């Protein structure tokens, strides 16, 4: 069972989560070494969960596909990965009709937009962490 979140509210919540992860990342640099790893893991998890659905939404809007809603629920991977039973799923529901009209390349960019955005955000995070050393 999943809970629907409107596109405007979802975008605002995910952007706020990304914005809140930045001070955590900065604060982690000032912590003692044993406390840095958990703080960075929390920051990475927040950025992943927030940036992934935003990536799909950003690429979809770029190509004129509306975001019907975001959702928070459980994944079908629970059967495959035991650890996934404990993790919620955050996703993006897009306009199917408009998506079907796009070229395969553009659809691929929309579907891959979550991973592309997460990779860019996490690369920036890693760069910041390594530059602080």
Average pLDDT, the chain: 82
Residues whose CB is less than 8 angstroms from the CB of residue 113 and which lie 6 or more positions away in sequence, other chains included: 55, 56, 57, 58, 59, 60
Q: Does residue 105 surpass a pLDDT of 90?
A: yes
Q: Does residue 130 surpass a pLDDT of 90?
A: no
Q: What is the pTM of this model?
A: 0.78
CA distance 65 to 107: 10
* 34 CB neighbour count, 10 Å cutoff: 7
């Amino acid at each position: 069972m999943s809970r629907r979140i409107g596109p405007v509210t979802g975008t605002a919540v995910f952007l706020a989560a990304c914005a809140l992860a930045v001070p955590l990342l900065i604060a982690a640099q000032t912590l003692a070494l044993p406390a840095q790893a958990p703080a960075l893991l929390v920051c990475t998890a927040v950025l992943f969960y927030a940036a992934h659905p935003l990536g799909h939404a950003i690429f979809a809007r770029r190509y004129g596909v509306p975001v019907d809603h975001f959702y928070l629920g459980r994944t079908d991977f629970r059967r495959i990965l035991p650890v996934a039973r404990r993790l919620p799923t955050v996703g993006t529901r897009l306009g199917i009709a408009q998506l079907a009209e796009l070229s395969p390349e553009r659809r691929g960019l929309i579907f891959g937009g979550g991973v592309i955005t997460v990779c860019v955000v996490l690369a920036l995070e890693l760069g910041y962490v390594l530059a602080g050393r």
